[in-house]
Structure 1
Amino acid sequence: MKNLFQRVKSKLHALIFWQSSIGDFANKMYDLKLFYKYSFKNNNFKSKESEIAFLTKQYHIVEKGLALPNPRLGFGKEKINLLVDRTKQYYKKNGDDALVISIKNCLLEYIEFNKKNNVKIEGDYFKSITDFIGLNKNHNEGGTLEINKTDLQNRTNIDFENFVKSRFSVRDFAEKDVEIEVIKKAVNIAKYAPSVCNRQSWKAHVYTQKENILSLLKIQGGSNGFSDNINKLIIITTDTKAFTKLESNQIYIDGGLFSMNLVLSLHSQGIGACCLNTCFPFTSEKKVKQIGTIPENEKVIMMIGIGNLKETYKVAISRKKDLTQIMTIH
């Protein structure tokens, strides 16, 4: 009987091992399936979201060109021709929305830059741009912004080192509700995180109902012991429709950048937060999306449990590595 038990135990361990290996493969295949199902390729769009992402990517190329130390006169002709052509198609379907206005402002600055440098704004190329721009004169969005170093120093005159070092993952919250307006403000600050070609693919799903929160946390499985203490739950996702070929990893990079900005923004509002990873099987991600009413095309990045701070509370020290273990000077 003992030998039989050992054989069964050995086979069970082997099964768990193979399930784990196969499971890792299946999880990667699920991620790739979502990416290829919803991302855009060769400027072919399966959705309005992908079309917006493409146009944002294209006009950001012009913005970056204008922000260079010495932009080349008349730069980007091929890319700008494509931008104008595709924006006209978008305009026919959606009108003069915020995206179109931003593109027109960007191209207006491009024309003014060339004029300022004595480039003759004539010929089919420049005419196609000026005809598209029309009389647009709104400089609030799109193009570049001139930064004054002294003004910047005044605006960044804070003890950032101590601010960052004062943030810890909090697991013991006060009973007082976190106001939605405070969360809105934190998200509105966090959206200034960098993203690939300024596409801002991130989404923040905020959950306020206790039953919903506990159901989602149960799937996550890493908040045992303080789930009941979490007042609101935020799930960060990124929209795969905003990405194109060779950008499957960028989904996680952009989502991570936004998540860190959000955690710091919540900290600046006096809200405690604990990042909860989503390292679970794709079957669990599907359950999260179902319970949380998250669209299939969004990739779950992380959960953030939040709450108001107590007057005093304990946090894990979590000693940081020495600088020499992190930085390599080449």
Structure 2
Amino acid sequence: MTASSMTKPQKRSKRAKKSAASPNNRAALFFLAPWLIGLICLTLGPVLASLYFSLTDYSILASPNWVGLSNYTEMLTADKLFGTSLKVTFTYVFASVPLKLIFALGVALLLNKGIKGLGIYRTIYYIPSLLGGSIAISMLWRKMLGGDGLVNQVLLKVGIHAPDWVANPKYALYSIVLLSVWQFGSSMIIFLSGLKQIPSDYYEASSVDGAGKIRQFWSITLPILTPVIFFNLVMQIITSFQSFTQAFVISNGSGGPLNSTLMYSLYLYKKGFAFFQMGYASAMAWVLLLIIGCFTFIIFRSSRGWVHYEDGGK
């Protein structure tokens, strides 16, 4: 049999496979069409548009005028509030993220004791994560921490005269940090799932060797949980840099007092929708993307040294 005669059946089989696969491909594209349309129209389109607007002087009310990198130059050299918003945001992120993760891990450890009604406790602790980002809860938080709010009334009962937490520049940002820590439910659920995956044999073997609870936590629980910690850390970093609602509501949209709660996203919002400098706001959005990308990259690079997986790799 010649080589040419052998290739004909192969070609026919390939055509048959392609013809059989084509209906499946069309069906797959049909079901993927809504997602693809959303990706192009609601994600890629706005992203490319914001990149263009960031290089223009655009006020929404008039056509954009090309200005090149002027928005970025002004942002980095002349805009003092830009630096202030970065400082406030970095302070918020570095304070809220570690506290939230520590608190979430602590509650997860308590709920991992096999107590009765675990599902009810999970729901109760997760509710703040569902409600904490809402405007109503932020307004309630502002009332509770106000000068005559519930917190100060309780402190006054024990003889402590506390300040107006949300109106004092020294404490206003930390009231938002406290609200963020209160929303620990999502991280807690993920930690609890990770704790459930740790084999009990590890603890039994360490108990035979005389290891106590603290030693077990540092030598068994924490190393095995590092992939979960890594995931929660990345997600919370990304979320915290984009925090907006709490600062907007608690400060009445001003970022006060004395710009102490002027979060980056809040300042971006004010530039775009209060001052109608949409080109400048778009440039700020791209800088924020770069900042989040840098932090995420650093965390991924550093994870090689502290994240441990079950197969022994890093």
TM bucket normalised to smaller:
under 0.3
Structure with bigger helix share is 2
Higher RCO (C-alpha 8 Å, min separation 6): 2
What is the TM-score with the length of structure 1 in the denominator? 0.23
**Bigger strand share:** 1
- Higher-Rg structure is 2
